[in-house]
Structure 1
Amino acid sequence: MATAAANPKDRYFVPAPSVWPFVLTVGLVSLVVGVSSYLESKSFGAAPTIAGIVISIFMIYRWFAGVIHESESGMYGAQVDRTYRWSMAWFIFSEVMFFAAFFGALYYARDLSLPWLSGAGEKIETNVQLWPGFEAVWPSNGPSNLGGAFETIPAFDVPLINTLLLLTSGVTLTFAHHALKASHRTSAVLWMWATVALGCAFLFFQVEEYMHAYGDLNLTLGSGIYGSTFFMLTGFHGMHVTLGTLMLFVITLRLMKGHFKPESHFGFEAVAWYWHFVDVVWIGLFIVVYWL
């Protein structure tokens, strides 16, 4: 419910209690249990994964439909706008820390663990007892040669194409934002569809890359520390691109339905923030994972 004020912009909106956070928790727990059990070869079957996906998608649709209805009904004022901005900012900060932890794991494995296992800087040569003859060479499937020999994916091949796709998508999204602020809705919609198409193209090439890695290069999750960190970083980023592309798709449909105003469109801006964050993370991935 909302308490009316003299100025609609000063309206303080108080949402009614909702069951959707609990439902989402159930769906995500089911999804995590299903996927993790599959990765650990202790699969409970496809039921937990499918149930988690269905519950999560249903919940997100219903929950966000309610939020959109509240927004388009004029229930939100300046207080809600500030709340959403702070919430999105902290959410993106948490995502930055999420990827920082994975980049940290890569740094630890490559620049600290491998030299130590090869005996660098050790007065007491524990490496001789643990892994005699191990050489600190990156990329590594060691120290026990897990998964056998493999090849890496050249940086200036598909990864470079995907870099150009994401950078271009950031430009088209910015053009769409400026068109919306200038009340050029048709142009905004066209630029948004271009952004969605670029996101889909990125995902297509990443799937092709994964198929090539598994089918031709023997680069898998089981390829030692390189394989695990490679798929951990690029896989989670791909998941974020998938989510971001879905968000862009929904925002584009909302633009076509006449949602958002030039002076009030934080729903659009929030998705733009998220997408630019995804772009920046990919640049880091391209440099650290593929190039160096």
Structure 2
Amino acid sequence: MSSNTGGAAPHYFVPAPSRHPVTASIGLLIIIFSAAEWVNGADWAKYSLLVGFLWLFTVLFQWFRDAIHESETGQYGHKVEISYRWSMSWFIFSEVMFFGAFFTALWWMRAHSVPALGGLDNALLWPDFKAVWPTVQPGATASPANIIEPFQTMTPFWLPTINTALLLSSGVTITIAHHLLREGKRGPTILWMWITVALGATFVAVQGYEYFHAYHELNLKLTSGAYGSTFFMLTGFHGFHVMVGMLMLFFITLRLMKGHFTADKHFGFEGAAWYWHFVDVVWLGLYTLVYWL
């Protein structure tokens, strides 16, 4: 986080007993239980699911508020900042593994599963199956019985390319903001941060329109065979991460406007910037492997 550490900050910070872990766990329990009941047909569960999310968001707001107060009152020293850096590094590593699993699933389907279904071993079961990718030819969806509706694939022009330009531009703007903050120029830093947030919001809006276009004009859905499932799982989870990153940058910008962070103590800003650059890199992989190849 930030920052007014100075020489008075303790070498190690020992937080006071907190209710937040327990109350957050209660919110998560409500969410999981309600989601399970909803998918099993309980109509009331969608309301309890909303209650669970509101509960969790309220707890997180209070938890983050307390952490920010501890930081701004100079209770975090150098050791705490190191722990934050390690924590954010491991978190981003876990996200790398998360997306790595989906990229591996895409590769496995293209390089192994679909070719195997079109091999001699399955020729008697699916004689008309065509082992091609994307799986859009008649009978090429691993569904010779025509269970899957015909669909069209998403091309890189023009919405995905526009979104690529937006994310790459946002990576530049947040880097500019970081350099300005290190120079102690708070006003220009806030301006470039708002530009970054706006670029992230525009990306989400363009992706929402892309999904509308895919569903209503291309008939491309999550149920459209292996291509549809991998397309929406990869792009959908990435879009969710963009929204999370955008919210992080939004609240960091509000903290900047409140006078938080200094030129040499601003890891809250840096951690959000790390995450945003990670989101950019993942998108470049998506843009190449999903839209072009």
Same fold (TM over 0.5): yes
Instruction: Tell me how far apart the structure 2 counterparts of residues 127 and 14 of structure 1 sit (CA, whole Å).
Output: 63
Q: For residues 129-157 of structure 1, what are the alpha-carbon distances to aligned partners after superposition, in whole Å with 9 as ceiling and x for unaligned?
A: 43222111111162015431101221121
The structure-2 alpha-carbon separation of the partners of 1:9 and 1:35, relative to structure 1 and needing over 3 Å to count, comes to same
CA contact (8 A) 1:146 1:222 kept: no
Corresponding residue for residue 94 of structure 1: 94
1:147 corresponds in structure 2 to 148
TM-score under structure 2 length normalisation: 0.90
Amino acid in structure 2 at the alignment position of 1:55: W
Aligned match of 2:267: 266
Q: How far apart, CA to CA, are the structure 2 residues paired with 1:198 and 1:78?
A: 33
Specify every segment of 5 or more residues in structure 2 that has no aligned partner in the other structure, as ranges.
1-5
SS in structure 2 opposite 1:13? coil
Letter in 1 for 2:50: I
Equivalents in 2 of 1:154, 1:37: separation in Å?
38
The answer (yes or no) to whether the contact 2:9–2:74 under 8 Å persists in 1 is: no
1:55 shift after superposition: 1.9
Between the aligned partners of 1:267 and 1:241, the Cα distance in structure 2 is: 17
What secondary structure sits across from 1:105 in the alignment? helix
For 1:258-285, what per-residue CA distance to the aligned partner results, in whole angstroms no more than 9, with x for missing partners?
0001010000000000000000000000
Over 3 Å counting, the alpha-carbon distance change for 1:251 and 1:224 in structure 2 is: same
Cα distance in 2 for residues equivalent to 1:267 and 1:72:
11
Secondary structure of 1:46's aligned partner: helix
Distance 2:290 2:147 in 1: 19
| Separation in structure 2 between the aligned mates of residue 30 and residue 237 of structure 1, nearest angstrom | 26
The CA distance in 1 between the partners of 2:150 and 2:207, in whole Å, is: 22
**Deviation per CA, 1:30-86, whole angstroms, max 9, x where unpaired?**
445555776x67464422431232122112211110110000000000010000000
State whether residues 10 and 75 of structure 2, in contact with CA within 8 Å, keep that contact through their aligned partners in structure 1: no
Alignment of 1:113 with 2:129, yes or no, is no
**Cα pair 1:146 1:223 within 8 Å, conserved:** no
Are 1:134 and 2:135 matched, yes or no? Answer: no
Pick closer, same or farther for the CA change 1:42–1:102 going to 2, 3 Å: farther
Asked if 1:197 is matched to 2:198, the reply is yes
Q: Output aligned runs, 1:24-103, within 5 Å.
A: 24-32=24-32, 42=41, 44=43, 45-103=45-103
Partner residue, 1:3: none
Q: Which residue of 2 aligns with 1:247?
A: 248
CA–CA distance in structure 2, aligned partners of residues 251 and 41 of structure 1 = 39
3-state SS of 2:113 partner: helix
Contact in 1 for aligned 2:215/2:221 (Cα 8 Å): yes
1:163–1:77: structure 2 CA closer, same or farther, 3 Å change rule?
Answer: same
What amino acid is aligned across from residue 122 of structure 2 in structure 1? N
For structure 1, the residue ranges without an aligned partner over 5 or more in a row are: 1-5, 120-124
Kindly indicate whether the alpha-carbon contact (under 8 Å) linking 1:234 and 1:285 is maintained by their aligned counterparts in 2. Answer: yes
Q: 2: CA distance between counterparts of 1:30 and 1:149?
A: 39
Q: Matched residues, percent identical?
A: 54
* Local SS of the residue matching 1:76: coil
Structure 1 partner of 2:15: 15
Are residues 1:257 and 2:258 paired? yes
For residues 178 and 204 of structure 1, do their structure 2 counterparts lie closer, same or farther at Cα, with a shift above 3 Å needed? same
SS of the residue aligned with 2:235? helix
CA distance in 2 between partners of 1:34 and 1:111 (Å): 38
* CA distance in 2: counterparts of 1:29 and 1:218, whole angstroms: 36
Cα pair distance change 1:28/1:211, threshold 3 Å = farther
TM-score w.r.t. length of structure 1: 0.90
Cα-to-partner distance string for 1:195-241 (whole Å, 9 max, x where unaligned): 00000000000100111111111111111111111110011001100
Query: How far apart in 2 are the matches of 1:148 and 1:53?
Result: 35
Residue-pair matches, total? 281
Counterpart of 1:264, as a letter, is K
- Counterpart of 1:81 in 2: which secondary structure? helix
Change in CA separation of 1:9 and 1:70 when aligned onto 2, cut-off 3 Å: closer
